[in-house]
């Protein structure tokens, strides 16, 4: 399947969860916000939401500072 990830089309295996996607790309689920098809996903949903062909995913990394 193909998804759009942060503006770039990528081929992925079928049946991958959003949580697995984050792990595969080395992202800590506690340090990012995930938008799936223009809706923000809560962290509690990341393991239970599975990606589908042509989904649009944006991963935004949280950065602290002052």
Which tokens sit at 29? Answer: 């689920």
Number of domains the chain is built from: 1
**CATH no. for residue 9?**
3.10.20.30
pLDDT in tens, the chain (66 residues): 999 999 999 999 999 999 999 999 999 999 999 999 999 999 999 999 999 999 999 999 988 776
How confident is the model at residue 64, as a pLDDT?
77
| In contact, 18 and 24? CB cutoff 8 Å | no
In this structure, the dihedral spanned by the alpha carbons of residues 37, 11, 1 and 31, taken in order and rounded to 10 degrees, is: -40
- Rounded to two decimals, the pTM is 0.89
Q: What is the extent of the structural domain holding 31? A: 2-61
How confident is the model at residue 48, as a pLDDT?
97
How confident is the model at residue 65, as a pLDDT?
76
Q: Is residue 46 part of a domain?
A: yes
């Amino acid at each position: 399947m193909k998804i759009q990830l942060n503006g770039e089309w990528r081929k992925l295996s079928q049946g991958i969860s959003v949580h697995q996607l984050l792990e595969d790309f080395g992202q800590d689920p506690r340090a990012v916000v995930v938008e799936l098809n223009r809706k923000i996903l809560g962290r509690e949903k990341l393991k239970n939401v599975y990606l589908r062909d042509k989904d649009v995913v944006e991963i935004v990394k949280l950065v602290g500072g002052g």
